[in-house]
A and B are shown apart, each in its own frame.
Chain A
Amino acid sequence: MDIQQIMQVVDASFAARQSIEKSLREIDRRALNAMVLVKRHGNALAGYGVVAQAFRERAASLKESASHLQGTIAPLIQARMRILQHQRVAASFSTMAQSMARLGLDCAPLKNSQAQSQKFIAQEETEARGILLRLIATVDTLQEGIEEQEYVVTNGRIEAALAEDTGAPLVRVSRDMGEAVRTVSNAIRTYRHQLESLEHESSTYI
């Protein structure tokens, strides 16, 4: 992975985080709107109130999970930068070793440094992979949260259908909730694809 690819990952992470946060804010607003609506209708919409509360709690939980994304991205990038650094050093050592070999010289410390660099690279690769896997795990948590949100939205649709005679626009509210969840779900899925491709490209085990 070169610096260009690293920058692409940084951009993708930033965009994904922006998109997820925006969508989560939207989800939170939808949930609050639903709760306001429920409160304004008294006890008649108490069932939907439970759904709206759950929707909001899940949204808060997603927000919490999403906040960990940024914390994971930075060490990943740092690890990647270190790998690049070691790869360059290793490449220099390799060039030097080849030059010396052409002159019939053999430098043991150079070989040692070369081996050390490779070792560092391998360590950093392992660490970067670990960070990447943790990042993917965070995204997995987000996706699980989204699946739960979708489940809550489905419950909301059922409650909305049951409370149709109250005249409250719950069906519209549920639809809006569903759309907000879909938006964040799409953002997370896209981000995950990017991370998986990164994992695929950068894997030293392929």
Chain B
Amino acid sequence: MDMEILQDYLPEARELLEKAQEDTLRLESEPGNDEILASVFRAFHTLKGGAGFLEADHLVSWTHHLEDLLDKLRSHTLTISASMIDAILKGLDVIDDMLQQLAHGESPAAGPEDLGNVIQQLAAGQTPYLQALTAETDESGTDATTCPSTDTTLLASQRITVDGHNGIYIERADISSHSAPGSSDEISEAEFEATLDALYGNQAPGLVDPPEQFCPDGDKISPEEFERVLDHLHSSQARGYDAQDRTAHTQPASAALKTDPPVPRITRQDQSLYAQSQTTTPAPIVNLSARSQNMPEAADTTLRVDALRLDAVMNQVGELVLLRNRLASAVSSLGEENEDMARIAREVDLTVNDIQSTVMRLRMQPCKRLFQQLPRVVRDASRQLGKEVKLDIVGEEVEIDKTVVDALSGPMTHLIRNSLDHGIEPPEVRQAAGKPRSATIRVAAIHLGDKVRIEVSDDGRGIDRQFVTQKAIDKGVITTDQAARLSEQEALELVFRPGFSTKDQATDLSGRGVGMDVVKETVRKLRGHLDIQTRLGLGTTIAMEFPLTMAVLPVLYLRLRREIYALPISSIESLLDIQESRIHRMGGRSVYRVDGTQVTPMVDLGALLNDRPLRLGSEPIEGVLTERGLFMVSEVLGNEDSVVKPIDFLAEQTWYQGATISGKGNVVLILDPGALIGHALEYPSTGKMPPTDRRGAA
């Protein structure tokens, strides 16, 4: 296998696969859209061409079957049906698996035989035995018509055409009517019914969907059928049809491809020709040519770069940022005596900012990549659950760091499935509640300054806090005492606890109490913020906020007596002068009255990190107000763009997001405000963690 070709092929193939899936789902709602059909066809065709270069025979064979089916649909020889959509989608899943095998350097194994047969039968205009499709979807069994081809034959005759030439006429004839012993010219009602049954199985017209829906061109003779008759009549001497072509058409596609010469020798232009030889219709060749013509244009503006190289550049820029910080710090210590140095430091600062911003943009990807799998998830899960759901996607163009896009794929799927399983009511329940039968799930990406907010909301039944609390007690996630202290929001956030589920029995969609925990953990690892809002009977919104870039973290340095720590600026709302009159005790916890409307938990970092509370009035104290609470510190020193270095030697669950090197060259621990507040709320009386449970405290 040529690894260079593979490196080029895989990303393109994945893009094609994603596009094909998106288009196939669109086909379901727009079955007559030729443009979409052509797009899916092209995707399979291109996938097949590339796989040929890699000598991935099973992939070639698999895509060929799908391409064949799409070709028939495109040429209106067949009409699209639900079972076809299912088969295509399942076929795409198989291709995805094959691509993963390719990515591991293995030659893809053959696709599942039963699904392959189904696709081939569908392409042949036959009604397949749908076990492969019904294995996971239950509605496809309704498509049980029988196409005429199984019980009909083609009769050829030579007659004079209207323009006086010899012509071969091919007609479809029913075997049963010709071979039935003792047949007469009179057709009885029973014979008619038997013929109908033979033609359409037990779905005779008038009883179920008209057969045209499944075999609309049952009487029409396809070009292949015509060619086969010509072969039969003239052996291999049919005009315009040489032995090589014949092999390609009469043998299974995979076998035909195996006989082809090794592909890597062929140039890109040749590849089009190679593809041409395998297709039955010229249309894709035209499209490929057009594509080839456009290629130089695309090559001028885009360049595919290995993500590892980008990561390396980003890391180097990170180091440059740290050096910039050290330079700025060193120059500022020189005072005003050296104006030139100060000016140079400022210019370096601006240049590094520009480089950092440019490199950051290199890693940005549109949220479309994250969202494009969701229509399929909604489609499959809603059908499985028998729910009617509309998916609204907003902000696909909003860009976010590649790391976030890669990491969020699983959690997004989980949130959607969770919403479908737990949030969305069955159609009849919705109707009874005065809601539209069809529920709406909204997925949105919103750009907020240095953050991107990703929301998943539904108009389902919402979350009952009391029910959640009771379930958490029942499952041993919290004690009754802890439950009594929970605020409404904290009760709601129990759904993110590991092991929590409102279901007693796990299904293949949810109920194991793992998914939401994974969502929370993923958000934490991505330095994000998770929020859940619900209104009983009206719906739930889960919002995740992530920094635009993961490479550089703006932090605020603070002093806690003699130690310096950092807090991510993204979590800070403002800095306050602590006033004793605003400190109160509530439910065993210290709270701070920020203003007339806001009361927030208060965390003494001295007590938490130094085991010695800060003494207001006796030593300098400042407040750092974050989204989740107020931190008491000795002094706020200033801000800096830092580069986070992971702390591998600490436990998984720590109070720190990592470490950084300050402008003065010191290693500074970056605090995790969410973990600190969470801990302070868990141990309100002391504000300290039990000695046995200190999580990575320095």
A153 to B465, CA, bound (A): 48
B357, B451, B556: the one within 8 Å of A36 (CB): B556
Is there a chain B Cβ closer than 8 Å to A35's Cβ? yes
Contacts of B573 in A (CB 8 A): 36
Within the complex, the shortest CB–CB distance from B20 to chain A, in Å, comes to 36
Contacts of B639 in A (CB 8 A): 32, 35-36, 39
Known A-B contacts A39-B569, A42-B548; the reply to A32 vs B449 at CB < 8 A is: no
A39 to B573, CA, bound (A): 11
- The interface bits of chain B over 96-112 (1 if a CB of A lies within 8 angstroms of the residue's CB, else 0) are 00000000000000000
Report yes or no: A33 in contact with B574, Cβ–Cβ below 8 A.
Answer: yes
Contacts of B218 in A (CB 8 A): none
Within the complex, the shortest CB–CB distance from B480 to chain A, in Å, comes to 40
Is there a chain B Cβ closer than 8 Å to A56's Cβ? yes
Report yes or no: A43 in contact with B574, Cβ–Cβ below 8 A.
Answer: no
Within the complex, the shortest CB–CB distance from B366 to chain A, in Å, comes to 17
A32 to B574, CA, bound (A): 8
Within the complex, the shortest CB–CB distance from B146 to chain A, in Å, comes to 63
Contacts of B450 in A (CB 8 A): 39-42
Minimal Cβ-Cβ distance residue in A for B556: A36
Within the complex, the shortest CB–CB distance from A34 to chain B, in Å, comes to 10
Is there a chain A Cβ closer than 8 Å to B580's Cβ? no
Is there a chain B Cβ closer than 8 Å to A26's Cβ? yes
Within 8 A of A (CB), among B554-599: 554, 556, 569-570, 572-577
Known A-B contacts A41-B449, A43-B357; the reply to A29 vs B636 at CB < 8 A is: yes
Is there a chain A Cβ closer than 8 Å to B638's Cβ? yes
Is there a chain B Cβ closer than 8 Å to A44's Cβ? yes
Is there a chain A Cβ closer than 8 Å to B622's Cβ? yes
Within 8 A of B (CB), among A42-61: 42-44, 56
- The interface bits of chain B over 526-559 (1 if a CB of A lies within 8 angstroms of the residue's CB, else 0) are 0000000000000000000000100000101000
Within 8 A of B (CB), among A129-182: 166, 168
Known A-B contacts A32-B638, A32-B639; the reply to A40 vs B569 at CB < 8 A is: yes
Report yes or no: A33 in contact with B569, Cβ–Cβ below 8 A.
Answer: no
A56 to B622, CA, bound (A): 17
Report yes or no: A56 in contact with B449, Cβ–Cβ below 8 A.
Answer: no
Contacts of A44 in B (CB 8 A): 449
Report yes or no: B638 in contact with A29, Cβ–Cβ below 8 A.
Answer: no
Report yes or no: B638 in contact with A56, Cβ–Cβ below 8 A.
Answer: yes
Report yes or no: B577 in contact with A39, Cβ–Cβ below 8 A.
Answer: no
Contacts of B577 in A (CB 8 A): 25-26, 29
Contacts of B572 in A (CB 8 A): 36, 40
Sort chain B's interface into a size bin.
10 to 19
Within the complex, the shortest CB–CB distance from B285 to chain A, in Å, comes to 47
Within the complex, the shortest CB–CB distance from B219 to chain A, in Å, comes to 64
Contacts of A42 in B (CB 8 A): 449-450, 548
A25 to B548, CA, bound (A): 32
Report yes or no: B636 in contact with A32, Cβ–Cβ below 8 A.
Answer: yes
Contacts of B570 in A (CB 8 A): 39-40
Within the complex, the shortest CB–CB distance from A172 to chain B, in Å, comes to 11
Within the complex, the shortest CB–CB distance from A87 to chain B, in Å, comes to 42
Contacts of A166 in B (CB 8 A): 449
Minimal Cβ-Cβ distance residue in A for B620: A25
A43 to B361, CA, bound (A): 13
Within 8 A of A (CB), among B619-642: 622, 636, 638-639
Most chain B CB within 10 A, of A26, A39, A44, A168, is at A39
Within the complex, the shortest CB–CB distance from A121 to chain B, in Å, comes to 39
Report yes or no: B569 in contact with A36, Cβ–Cβ below 8 A.
Answer: yes
Contacts of B636 in A (CB 8 A): 29, 32
Minimal Cβ-Cβ distance residue in B for A45: B449
A39 to B12, CA, bound (A): 37
Within the complex, the shortest CB–CB distance from B559 to chain A, in Å, comes to 13
Within 8 A of B (CB), among A3-53: 25-26, 29, 32-33, 35-36, 39-44
Within the complex, the shortest CB–CB distance from A29 to chain B, in Å, comes to 5
Most chain A CB within 10 A, of B449, B556, B622, B636, is at B449
Contacts of A43 in B (CB 8 A): 357
Contacts of A41 in B (CB 8 A): 449-450
Within the complex, the shortest CB–CB distance from A194 to chain B, in Å, comes to 27
Within the complex, the shortest CB–CB distance from B282 to chain A, in Å, comes to 51
Report yes or no: A40 in contact with B574, Cβ–Cβ below 8 A.
Answer: no
Within the complex, the shortest CB–CB distance from A168 to chain B, in Å, comes to 8
Within the complex, the shortest CB–CB distance from B497 to chain A, in Å, comes to 29
A72 to B322, CA, bound (A): 39
Most chain A CB within 10 A, of B569, B570, B572, B639, is at B639
A41 to B547, CA, bound (A): 11
Within the complex, the shortest CB–CB distance from B616 to chain A, in Å, comes to 15
Contacts of A25 in B (CB 8 A): 577
Contacts of B575 in A (CB 8 A): 29, 32-33, 36
Within the complex, the shortest CB–CB distance from A20 to chain B, in Å, comes to 16
Contacts of A29 in B (CB 8 A): 575-577, 622, 636
Most chain B CB within 10 A, of A33, A40, A166, is at A40
Minimal Cβ-Cβ distance residue in A for B636: A32
Within the complex, the shortest CB–CB distance from A67 to chain B, in Å, comes to 14
A40 to B638, CA, bound (A): 15
A32 to B572, CA, bound (A): 11
Contacts of A36 in B (CB 8 A): 556, 569, 572-575, 639
A40 to B571, CA, bound (A): 9
Within the complex, the shortest CB–CB distance from B363 to chain A, in Å, comes to 15
Within the complex, the shortest CB–CB distance from A44 to chain B, in Å, comes to 7
A168 to B556, CA, bound (A): 19
Contacts of B576 in A (CB 8 A): 29
A39 to B569, CA, bound (A): 7
Within 8 A of A (CB), among B626-678: 636, 638-639
Contacts of A26 in B (CB 8 A): 577
Most chain B CB within 10 A, of A29, A32, A56, is at A32
Within 8 A of A (CB), among B10-33: none
Contacts of A39 in B (CB 8 A): 450, 554, 569-570, 639
The interface of chain A, by Cβ under 8 A from chain B, is 25-26, 29, 32-33, 35-36, 39-44, 56, 166, 168
Q: Can you list 12 A-B contacts with CB-CB less than 8 angstroms, sorted by A residue number? A: A29-B577, A32-B575, A33-B574, A39-B450, A39-B554, A39-B639, A41-B450, A42-B449, A42-B548, A43-B357, A166-B449, A168-B449
The interface of chain B, by Cβ under 8 A from chain A, is 357, 449-451, 548, 554, 556, 569-570, 572-577, 622, 636, 638-639
Report, nearest first, the 5 A-B pairs whose CB atoms are least far apart: A41-B449, A42-B450, A39-B554, A39-B569, A42-B449
Known: A39-B450, A41-B449. 16 other contacts (CB 8 A): A25-B577, A26-B577, A29-B576, A29-B622, A29-B636, A32-B556, A32-B638, A32-B639, A35-B639, A36-B556, A36-B569, A36-B573, A36-B574, A39-B570, A40-B569, A56-B638
